[in-house]
Amino acid sequence: MISEKGDDMKTLEISNLHVSVEDKEILRGVDLIVHQGEAHALMGPNGNGKSTLLAAVMGDPRYTVTEGSIIYDGKDVLKMPVNERSIAGLFLGMQYPQEIPGVTNSDFLRAAINVRRETPISLFQFIKQMDKTISDLQMNEDLAHRFLNEGFSGGEKKRNEIVQLEMLKPSLAMLDEIDSGLDVDAIKIVADAISSIRKENNMSLIIVSHYERFLELIRPEFTHVLVNGRIALNGGPELYERIDKEGYDWIYSDYGIEPEKQQKQEKTRISIGSCAVRESLEGKK
Amino acid sequence: MIVRQDSRIELNGGFQTVDIDADTDLKLELNIKDSGNLFFRIRNAGKIEIRGTVPEEKNVAILFWNDTDKKIQTVESYEVERDGSLSLAYGECNEGDTLRDVQVSLNGRSAHAGLSSASLVRSRKDYRMFAVNNSERTSAEIKNYAVVLKDGKLMIDAVGKIINGAKRSRSHQVSRALSFEEGQNTTILPELLIDENDVEASHAMSIGRVDENQLYYMMSRGLNMKECTMLISLGYLLPIADIIANEEMRKALREELERKIRELCLM
């Protein structure tokens, strides 16, 4: 299991990363190094590429890497399929976790744990671990038997991401606005769980969050500000503290950055309830 | 019991397992005396013809588990008398082709029939399911759930017919097929032939591919495509077992489905 390799120093090295979605370039040369055990806060105004960066590292098929490299633990991540990236120790706590009807949380997690092991985890050991995790995240006891995220509230989905994080014990976790949708108490529960997993496994973190309160609980040592698809500014905790108080305007004036007008990253997704024809005629509201 | 030639099978209540293992065509006659459950395991056969009548006020469940990788053909015909009930369940997770033709006639007042199938399709599966409401207050329910894998070809012709005079009768059907990639071939023809006004009837049908975002989500936790296919197929097909009231038979179907889905999806 990955946790057994706790002493390994696994480094994530992102160099000159360019990423496009449907021919629109979102990331334009991102460089970032995360050493084992470090926590990095990734900040920046909406639509500047924070989620894109995390999705590209995980291998979301909607994003195309057009240039640059991602190396983790000496391996070329871009050559690995999504599942192998996970087995290599990468984890993405998603902003919008998917609902999978028919697949229970416990079947899903057991399968995900077993792909990391040579011999399958015993039922006893699994239940013990699952019970502890459910109690750490203060979730309902029936979680294991419920279908994966189906009918979960926004907050439950986010907590369930951390349940998976605790069960799978990755060496590097990327958390994409995992605190949004959580109430004040839940933020504390989730942050405590993350901090304790981090301590236990020397896990690295890349956190995208707009809330200083959440960052304050995790205390990342590094802060990066992503503007116009590039990292415009690097710093320590003082940087996210200042952004929390003053916003981003001072960065534009102090560092002479001209923020581009935000554009929607994705085309309208057609679904029941939205009329794509009407939206294309009237413009998306 | 093992059946190798034309036979008459008695059902006197309880739970009975019948293994069909014949090199030739077979004719089976069900002699149903009392409420009970029959579990047919098809190991080998050519064309199988089955006939049976559920007597008044009797309650019968029949489960067919196809366990042969050879091509089989079944022609089944059942009648249900007043206040009788017949549940037919088909588990098709084998690699052989299947050509099935089932007809259930609800002849007595308040007779009921449920026809359901769970299929993991890697070969050719061709089903015709025909339920006829011939009497008042009868009800028929057809449910087909299928996961169509690479090179699978599924054809379902589900027909619910209510004749003139079969007042207050019901005929409902649901057929759903799920696939994981392009290139599978699925045809579902839901049909309702209604000759009476005072009835309830409906059909629902869906054929679709698994959402790519769902697959990405599962793979981002370390599962490969085959493991995702297995978990989603289990979730899709296992609930069909829950419609079987008899616990022993329900358990048998769940176990067989689970074993076969794991085996086929991980191949």
What is the reported pLDDT for B9?
Answer: 94
pLDDT reading at A31 higher than 90 = yes
DSSP B219-263: HTTT--HHHHHHHHHHHHHGGGGGG---HHHHHHHHHHHHHHHHH
- Percent of chain A exceeding pLDDT 70 equals 88
Under the banding of pLDDT at 50, 70 and 90, the label for residue B173 is very high
DSSP B37-102: EEEEEEEE-SEEEEEEEEPTT-EEEEEEEE--SS-EEEEEEEEE-TT-EEEEEEEE-SSS-EEEEE
The maximal CA–CA distance of chain A, rounded, in angstroms, is: 59
Q: Which residue has the higher pLDDT, A46 or A266?
A: A46
User: Mind spelling out the 3-state secondary structure of chain A?
Assistant: CHHHHCCCCCCEEEEEEEEEECCEEEEEEEEEEECCCCEEEEECCCCCCHHHHHHHHHCCCCCEEEEEEEEECCEEHHHCCHHHHHHCCEEEECCCCCCEEEEEHHHHHHHHHHCCCCCCCCHHHHHHHHHHHHHHCCCCHHHHHCEECCCCCHHHHHHHHHHHHHHHCCCEEEEECCCCCCCHHHHHHHHHHHHHHHHHHCCEEEEECCCHHHHHHHCCCEEEEEECCEEEEEECHHHHHHHHHHCCHHHHHHHCCCCCCCCCCCCCCCCCCCCHHHHHHHCCC
Contacts with B222 from chain A: Cβ below 8 Å: 83, 86-87, 112, 115-116, 168
The whole-angstrom separation of Cα B105 and Cα A133 is 54
pLDDT in tens, A207-245: 999 888 899 999 999 999 999 999 999 999 999 999 989
- Predicted TM-score (pTM) of the model is 0.84
Contact A258, A252 (CB under 8 A): yes
Token digits for B165? 């005079």
Please tell me if residue A88 touches chain B, with a CB cutoff of 8 Å. no
Task: Look at residues B173, B127, B118 and name the one whose alpha carbon lies nearest to residue B148.
Answer: B118
Contacts with A55 from chain B: Cβ below 8 Å: none
Token digits for A17? 């990363």
> Comparing A104-113, B1-10, B79-88, B162-171, which segment has the lowest mean pLDDT?
B1-10
A102 vs B220: CB contact, 8 Å cut-off? Answer: no
Cα A87 vs. chain centroid, distance in angstroms?
A: 16
Under the banding of pLDDT at 50, 70 and 90, the label for residue A262 is low
Under the banding of pLDDT at 50, 70 and 90, the label for residue A258 is confident
Under the banding of pLDDT at 50, 70 and 90, the label for residue A3 is very low
What is the reported pLDDT for B154?
Answer: 95
ipTM summary value: 0.89
pLDDT reading at B22 higher than 60 = yes
The whole-angstrom separation of Cα A152 and Cα B217 is 16
Contact A83, A111 (CB under 8 A): no
Domain ranges of chain B: 2-210
Contact B116, B90 (CB under 8 A): yes
What is the reported pLDDT for A213?
Answer: 87
Contacts with B262 from chain A: Cβ below 8 Å: none
> Comparing A93-97, A100-104, A267-271, B193-197, which segment has the lowest mean pLDDT?
A267-271
What is the reported pLDDT for A8?
Answer: 65
What is the reported pLDDT for A254?
Answer: 86
Contact B63, B249 (CB under 8 A): yes
What is the reported pLDDT for A279?
Answer: 46
Provide the 3-class DSSP secondary structure of residue B187: strand
B219 vs A60: CB contact, 8 Å cut-off? Answer: no
Under the banding of pLDDT at 50, 70 and 90, the label for residue A261 is low
- 10 Å CB burial of residue A261 (0-12, 13-18, 19+) is exposed
The whole-angstrom separation of Cα B106 and Cα B169 is 10
What is the reported pLDDT for A92?
Answer: 98
pLDDT reading at B178 higher than 80 = yes
Contacts with A85 from chain B: Cβ below 8 Å: 220
Task: Look at residues B182, B188, B222 and name the one whose alpha carbon lies nearest to residue B205.
Answer: B188
Question: What's the mean per-residue pLDDT of chain A?
Answer: 88
pLDDT in tens, A153-196: 999 999 999 999 999 999 999 999 999 889 889 999 999 999 99
Rounded to 10 degrees, what is the CA torsion of A267, A268, A270, A271? 130
pLDDT in tens, B125-147: 999 999 999 999 999 999 999 99
Type of residue numbered B121: V
Contacts with B220 from chain A: Cβ below 8 Å: 58-59, 82-83, 85-86, 91-92, 94
- 10 Å CB burial of residue B138 (0-12, 13-18, 19+) is buried
Give the pLDDT mean for B6-19. Answer: 91
Domain ranges of chain A: 2-101+166-282
Task: Look at residues A1, A153, A175, A29 and name the one whose alpha carbon lies nearest to residue A87.
Answer: A1
B216 vs A82: CB contact, 8 Å cut-off? Answer: yes
What is the reported pLDDT for A259?
Answer: 78
The whole-angstrom separation of Cα A253 and Cα A263 is 22
* DSSP 8-state secondary structure symbol assigned to residue B24: S
CATH number (1.10.150.120, 3.10.450.50, 3.40.50.300, 3.30.70.2740) of A2-101+166-282 reads 3.40.50.300
Provide the 3-class DSSP secondary structure of residue B129: strand
CB pairs under 8 A between A and B: 72
Residue B73 Cα, gap to closest chain A Cα (Å): 31
Token digits for B220? 């981002």
Please tell me if residue A97 touches chain B, with a CB cutoff of 8 Å. yes
> Comparing A258-272, B59-73, B241-255, which segment has the lowest mean pLDDT?
A258-272
Under the banding of pLDDT at 50, 70 and 90, the label for residue A5 is very low
pLDDT in tens, A56-71: 999 999 999 999 999 9
- Of B214, B224, B231, which has the smallest distance from its Cβ to A98's Cβ? B214
Give the pLDDT mean for B234-242. Answer: 87
